[in-house]
Amino acid sequence: MKSLSWLIGLLIVIGAIPMITHDVTLRETVFIILMYIALAESLNIILGYTGYVSFGHIVFYGIGGYVAFLMIQNYGLNIIPAMILAGLFSALVAYCLGLAILRLRGAYFAIATIGVNEAVKALITNLEQVGGAEGIYFNIKVYSAYGGAEHAIWLSYYLMLAVTIAVVIVSWFVKKSKFGLGLMAIREDEDAAITLGVNTSKYKTLAYALSALFPGMIGAIFFFKNGNIEPESAFHLTKSIEMIFMVMLGGFGTVTGPMIGAIVYERIRGFLIVSEMFKALHIAISGIILLLIVLFMPRGIIGFVRDKIPALRRFVE
């Protein structure tokens, strides 16, 4: 429990700072950090625990965003039920999809997930009912139900904090459970796991659905706050890669890793974009960093720390 309690403590401290200082710029930064943490932790369930490389995971974020956006815009639903519906819908899509594509292993699965993301993006881009390529904008009246845009933004912030805490708790309990052990058995050797009586297809599908639930909710919050949604930003393949980057940087298969990875990544990215010298080159530099991690630190920052300082192992899960 120690490893979980300090993580939650850290999240609450990070989350509380903008609330106390009422610093708007800081709130935006923390909002993005929280979103990255939640996305990376979600992906970690399928990528880190189960060992299935979901390259197009952002599709669930986009689907969640669209579901919530349409619900709020067309039926005047409140963001909280809309967010929950969006998450459940994403999880349901992942469950049905998983029944099919999780039969594929390794690289085939990775390609299929890219395919799913691109197919959904192309479909939405061509559906005029959901705004097509231009996307949809909120009617400004939407926010009046929450006491104006300013209140709506703060509400989004609280919701993002709540979802992020929920994701971390869920990933910690999954890792400690029999379910989590089953997932890790699949990662290590799927055939052996089957032989030992793990119901692998059920486990994989559930893990995939769980890893899609939170991105759906995060997409709902993000696009509610954003005020508009378009296919290009909702299904951006680069965001999928960013999620993988964060998980790898922090250490895949751990609970602390994706969180650390997300914070470090956001800082690196912020630094590169702001710095005059690196602004234009930030993609190239991210590439070099990613390559260095893959080649020399395959288990990420947390794996590295755990190897070098055994005393910390009890605290970093």
The 3-state secondary structure of 156-205 reads HHHHHHHHHHHHHHHHHHHHHCHHHHHHHHHHHCHHHHHHCCCCHHHHHH
155 binds other proteins (CB under 8 A): no
- The count of residues interacting with other proteins (CB under 8 A) is 44
CB atoms within 10 A of CB 262: 28
Type of residue numbered 31: F
Type of residue numbered 105: R
Least Å from the CB of residue 159 to other proteins: 32
d(CA 300, CA 315) in angstroms, rounded, equals 16
285 binds other proteins (CB under 8 A): yes
First CA to last CA distance, the chain: 10
Strand, helix or coil at 76? coil
Q: Which stretch binds other proteins (CB under 8 A): 84-92, 121-129, 145-153, 162-170?
A: 121-129
Which of 123, 273, 274, 312 contacts other proteins by CB under 8 A? 123
d(CA 29, CA 263) in angstroms, rounded, equals 10
d(CA 317, CA 313) in angstroms, rounded, equals 7
Binding residues for other proteins restricted to 81-100, rule: CB under 8 A: 100
Least Å from the CB of residue 121 to other proteins: 8
115 binds other proteins (CB under 8 A): yes
47 binds other proteins (CB under 8 A): yes
Binding residues for other proteins restricted to 216-255, rule: CB under 8 A: 241, 244, 248, 252
Which of 73, 118, 145, 269 contacts other proteins by CB under 8 A? 118
Q: In terms of Cα–Cα distance, which of 7, 15, 64, 43 is closest to 242? A: 43
Angle between helices 282-296 and 256-274 (to 10 degrees): 150
Least Å from the CB of residue 51 to other proteins: 7
288 binds other proteins (CB under 8 A): yes
User: Of 88 and 241, which has the nearer Cβ to other proteins?
Assistant: 241
Q: Which stretch binds other proteins (CB under 8 A): 14-22, 103-111, 166-174, 192-200?
A: 103-111
Positions in the binding site for other proteins (CB under 8 A): 47, 51, 53, 55, 100-101, 103-104, 106-108, 110-112, 114-116, 118-119, 121-123, 125-126, 133, 241, 244, 248, 252, 280-291, 294-295, 298
